[in-house]
Structure 1
Amino acid sequence: FIVGLLNTALVSVLGIILATAIGFTMGVARLSTNWLVSRLAAVYIETFRNIPLLLQIFFWYFAVLQALPSARQSLSLGEAIFLNV
């Protein structure tokens, strides 16, 4: 139980740090006076703003998570619930 809790906390903290770094970098790049840097940041920002969140969740689920190896030595309750003893 504690290992799962620590892994979840670690992933959460790393995700927050990475998202903050990317967001800050893109925000500063968007305000840049350099035309190319500003436009690249604008394309990145507008792309992620204009793609619906549900579509992004589907992408990450079907494109990324399905490519990972399946759970082993687990009791399976459907496709989304696994119990480890």
Structure 2
Amino acid sequence: MKITREEVEKTARLARLELSGEAIDKMTAQLDTILSYVAKLDELDTTGISAETHLFGATNAFREDEVRPSLPREKALANSPCHNQAAFVVPRIIG
């Protein structure tokens, strides 16, 4: 599989990455190597092999919810650099 420099530039732009020309060339070569390896995996015959989501046959591995004491608010806020009486105070990010 061949990936083009333009596809890497577009992907970097979508990911909001600023890459130099040299970095784009290097990334293009690396991604091409990875995609070529993945293409080799497509050659494997997987008929009769079921898709697995877990390595082991674990079913319903979740524990039951139980009420337990939690950390008191005062202790949780004690090491915070900025808080009011009820919560952490963080900078506003949406105008």
Q: Please indicate the TM-score interval, normalised by the length of the shorter structure.
A: 0.3 to 0.5
Greater relative contact order: 1 or 2 (C-alpha under 8 angstroms, separation 6 or more)? 2
- TM-score, reference length from structure 1: 0.33
Query: Which one has a bigger Cα radius of gyration?
Result: 2
Identify the structure with the greater strand proportion.
1
Larger helix fraction of residues? 1
TM-score (norm 2): 0.30
